[in-house]
Amino acid sequence: MKTAHDLVTAAKARVQETPLENADQAIRDADILIDVRETEEYASGHIPGAVHISRGMLEFKLSNMPELASRDLKIVVYCKTSGRAALAACALADMGYLDVKSISGGFDAWAAAGKPVVKPELPSFE
């Protein structure tokens, strides 16, 4: 029986993982940056320009978004530490997307490196 760790290890062997030092350029070159974390994670802070599509809904949302139908899109995905992003990148490759990258170390590595993070402000009720 395979574990989640086994699945992530196999996924990382299949996908193109972009080192953190190259992530800025990969994002600039991308047509879309997708944050595959859960809603609460995204809301607590995300990479500027990221679109939120949780890992569990990725295939369904992309299948129903005509603007993302082209399999030539340059896609960068990330999650908290890179496991879910690797699984997402594999799923996208299986769907026929030809240029998918994930960010090594994910959001945690991005934030720890002091890179920009969008943190939505809650409205004041005072």
The yes-or-no answer on residue 90 being catalytic is no
Q: Where are the alpha helices (DSSP H) in the chain?
A: 4-14, 20-29, 39-44, 58-63, 83-94, 106-112
Asked if residues 95 and 62 have their Cβ atoms less than 8 Å apart, the reply is yes
- DSSP class of residue 118? B
The catalytic residue among 30, 50, 79, 87 is 79
Distance CA 81, CA 70 (A): 28
Q: Which residues contact 14 (CB under 8 A, 6 or more apart)?
A: 86, 89, 90, 93
List residues with catalytic annotation: 79
